[in-house]
Structure 1
């Protein structure tokens, strides 16, 4: 049916032009995954068998199970779905799929971005995909206009959900003032590929390199938040010709298990890790609230629950456990001294997740660095946190030098 636009939730799919949008912003999706999505939407009144999809997608050529699974996962991720949270595309036993979201079809108006709605810098966004060195699909987004600011990936993120999530929404307004923000979802997370065999530091550095190559950047300032700070340090040390300025906030050089120097600290690290494991495995709200409270110390219990619900949308439980375990063992203390660019380190004095001692260590290790400590308990600065505008002021002053 020519010119049909299917609308479900905050998404709109132009089946004729093969275009997907979310809240009026184009979502860049691999063509075969988008074709699969269109097939399922067009036949949403029934379960479509896997054999039929293989036949129609293959166009006379054999389609492997692995290839189809990759298309299906990409299609699901593009619309905020997942293998476990099947709110839009449901797997129907034994071998079929059905598009189950409430959908309206409009054949009169082709899908196009709003022409007259007022926009901000952060409204200009496009999501794209690239491949890392080992072939892993990485999703990245370009938001705003102006000189680039690259933000390393940090768990938890989901490119298609972050801009409306209270935990991250204010970051877009803040980081796109006169700049283009380039961000990406970590491997195993968000819109990036979830089924990956390796999460090493080298992998994460390669992912960043692939993103900036795909974005066409030569030299740029780099922002690392939380565990993304370690990736930023490693990248700046290895690729000094590309990083003009380095900004680290709520960052650390050594993960909790690596930096534990006494029996008490090792015991505390193991307890913290076990609580996080228990939360991800059982999805028990008490465990997940404890985990959330370390990131957002000044939030309410309801906000901690919202944080926990959001994190379940960003990745699978198995990947969540891998992230937690791998990040406790990350260590860039041996290469931090190789960072040659000017570096700004911003940290909350009473950070409940990463002790301020880690900021002091980074400032000691990185030669051309300056340290700013802010009065806050939040690991991730919230919109209501007085430290947030102060952080932005220091950031833009530093980048303008």
Structure 2
């Protein structure tokens, strides 16, 4: 069912900044960290963002928020640092009351969620990374030409944010959605004006493009799906490929599009929604309870630790059993759950409620199985 209304609420980040977040739809929770050009209120009527909202909230309880300095969140007197953006995300997640959730993060905002996802593998059941890069173009390892190009863009933002030079908004819109219809382009251009001020736009964008989280990507333990448009003018296709290559067992889906923000009217949209629906089931797997009933007590212990993102070596130490025994248990678990891979087994387990609690200390359990 398509969402007809949304609840808009506010929470306080660690430094007291009020962050606006919205909730709509029904189903398992899905937290969406969107592109920075969006607005909780005006997105609802946007021909660019409404297809995203309706697709994501059709089968899920969708939770999204406005970045500090933008939309309905506090705009005046706010400080922009990467750490504060991470704290804002954590504040929204905690205020919404969700414990275990799927997560969709796009563009520069995708790097914001990585510290949380790595540190809380029991809370993020599945992760979708859309149109992002391992590190921003203003980091130490960025090629000189990308650094120079981003510096020029930031200066253009400072001098020409839509309310100052109308042509700049048109340029920025054509950069993000070159194949937009006239109505989509007009709406996105207007959204640029409504989202934030020039000063906040520059400060927020600079914070995002200076962030480097590529060292965290190999530490992700949740099933991960990576999307990237083949001909995006905002972030090269190779950025998405490198993200997927760095995340263990991640699946990479190239999108045949020139648009950095996929549009609901283009052919690639159907592929995107199909892949997303396959990866983010709206309910627990049918028959999952029956499958888990077939597991032995020790296999359930192993599943619990798998759902927490532990490696075989970690499980061996935690349960005080040999590495070979762990491998045997994992193989048995995959067979009984009908999973084709470790990542799929983790996803099924998390859908069934595993990984939401830390298992009691097992040192007192002396089984040698």
Q: What is the TM-score normalised by the length of structure 1?
A: 0.66
Query: What is the distance in 1 between the residues matched to 2:197 and 2:150?
Result: 23
Find the counterpart in structure 1 of residue 237 from structure 2: 356
Q: CA RMSD in A?
A: 1.9
Where does structure 1 differ by over 4 angstroms across 4 or more consecutive aligned residues? 300-303
Match for 2:272 among 376, 391, 397?
391
Equivalent pairs counted in the alignment come to 282
Q: Residues 71-96 of structure 1: CA distance to partner in whole angstroms, max 9, x if unpaired?
A: xxxxxxxxxxxxxxxxxxxxxxxxxx
Alignment of 1:95-244 (within 5 A): 120-244=1-125
Query: What is the distance in 2 between the residues matched to 1:295 and 1:389?
Result: 19
Q: Residues 167-201 of structure 1: CA distance to partner in whole angstroms, max 9, x if unpaired?
A: 10111111112211011111111111112432222
Query: What is the distance in 2 between the residues matched to 1:144 and 1:302?
Result: 26
Find the counterpart in structure 2 of residue 307 from structure 1: 188
Kindly tell me: are residues 140 and 263 of structure 1, through their superposed partners in 2, closer, same or farther at Cα, counting changes over 3 Å? closer
Q: Which region of structure 1 is more displaced relative to structure 2, 290-299 or 232-241?
A: 232-241
Structure 1 contact 187–196 (Cα < 8 Å) conserved: no
Q: Find the residue that maps to 1:123 and give its secondary structure.
A: coil
Q: Residues 317-355 of structure 1: CA distance to partner in whole angstroms, max 9, x if unpaired?
A: 211121222222121112222211110001111111111
Query: What is the distance in 2 between the residues matched to 1:330 and 1:301?
Result: 34
Match for 1:371 among 227, 238, 252?
252
Find the counterpart in structure 1 of residue 155 from structure 2: 274
Query: What is the distance in 2 between the residues matched to 1:217 and 1:136?
Result: 21
Unaligned 5+ residue runs, structure 1?
1-119
Structure 1 contact 224–248 (Cα < 8 Å) conserved: yes
Report the structure, 1 or 2, having the larger strand content: 1
Structure 2 contact 136–142 (Cα < 8 Å) conserved: no
Structure 2 contact 47–183 (Cα < 8 Å) conserved: no
Kindly tell me: are residues 315 and 265 of structure 1, through their superposed partners in 2, closer, same or farther at Cα, counting changes over 3 Å? closer
Q: Residues 246-289 of structure 1: CA distance to partner in whole angstroms, max 9, x if unpaired?
A: 00111222112227744433332323333333322872122222
Find the counterpart in structure 1 of residue 367 from structure 2: none
Structure 1 contact 245–341 (Cα < 8 Å) conserved: yes
Kindly tell me: are residues 367 and 217 of structure 1, through their superposed partners in 2, closer, same or farther at Cα, counting changes over 3 Å? same
Query: What is the distance in 2 between the residues matched to 1:203 and 1:291?
Result: 26
Query: What is the distance in 2 between the residues matched to 1:276 and 1:339?
Result: 34
Query: What is the distance in 1 between the residues matched to 2:224 and 2:146?
Result: 29
Unaligned 5+ residue runs, structure 2?
282-346, 348-369
Q: Find the residue that maps to 1:227 and give its secondary structure.
A: helix
Query: What is the distance in 1 between the residues matched to 2:120 and 2:81?
Result: 18
Structure 1 contact 237–340 (Cα < 8 Å) conserved: yes
Query: What is the distance in 1 between the residues matched to 2:176 and 2:47?
Result: 13
Kindly tell me: are residues 155 and 265 of structure 1, through their superposed partners in 2, closer, same or farther at Cα, counting changes over 3 Å? closer
Superposition deviation, residue 149 in structure 1: 0.6
Match for 2:128 among 240, 243, 247?
247
Query: What is the distance in 2 between the residues matched to 1:255 and 1:194?
Result: 24
Structure 1 contact 154–185 (Cα < 8 Å) conserved: no
Kindly tell me: are residues 176 and 300 of structure 1, through their superposed partners in 2, closer, same or farther at Cα, counting changes over 3 Å? closer
Report the structure, 1 or 2, having the larger helix content: 2
Structure 1 contact 276–291 (Cα < 8 Å) conserved: no
Kindly tell me: are residues 142 and 349 of structure 1, through their superposed partners in 2, closer, same or farther at Cα, counting changes over 3 Å? same
Alignment of 1:334-353 (within 5 A): 334-353=215-234
